[in-house]
Amino acid sequence: MEKNEKVTLCGANSYLKKYYFNEKFSALPEQVKKELNIMCVLFTEEVGGVLTMDFSAEGDLLLTVSVDDADYLFDEIESGIQIRKLQKEHEELLRGLEKYYKIRFLGMDPADVITTDDTEGLPS
């Protein structure tokens, strides 16, 4: 993978009224796939534009919004607020997806990916 290359997990487009899910991630549980679908579609229905969830070359999950130049109704401030809201409300899911990607697709050692914060509260 190139240094700046991204891998798209999923996305929704308010202009085309379409949702996309990358089949490379078909092994994810159905509930996770449904949650991603709901998150993306609701975001674009509320805010507009195109939302994509991409993994960076390092395995970070990036939520990116793009908008057609002719879309004068798009509110960039509201978009930023809604992205932060999504990140906060779904923090556990999004962090889990990053770990999954780093281990499964980047081949990182699980011991390097799973931090002590992740194991707190688990039986020893």
Question: pLDDT tens for residues 77-121?
Answer: 999 999 999 999 999 999 999 999 999 999 999 998 887 455 444
Q: pTM for this one?
A: 0.87
3-state class of 9 per DSSP?
Answer: strand
pLDDT at 3: 62
Phi and psi, residue 123, nearest 5°: -65, 145
- β-sheet bridge partners, residue 7: 55
Compute φ and ψ for 8, nearest 5 degrees.
-80, 130
pLDDT of residue 123: 42
Residue 2 resides in a domain: no
- Please give the pLDDT value at position 120: 47
- pLDDT tens digits, 26-60: 999 999 999 999 999 999 999 999 999 999 999 99
Average pLDDT score over the chain: 90
As for how many domains the chain has, the answer is 1
Q: Count the neighbouring beta carbons within 10 Å of the beta carbon of residue 55.
A: 24
Ramachandran class of 109: left when φ > 0, alpha when ψ lies in -120 to 50, beta otherwise: beta
What range defines the domain where residue 48 resides? Answer: 7-119
How far is it, in rounded angstroms, from Cα 115 to Cα 119? 7
Residue 92 domain-assigned (yes or no): yes
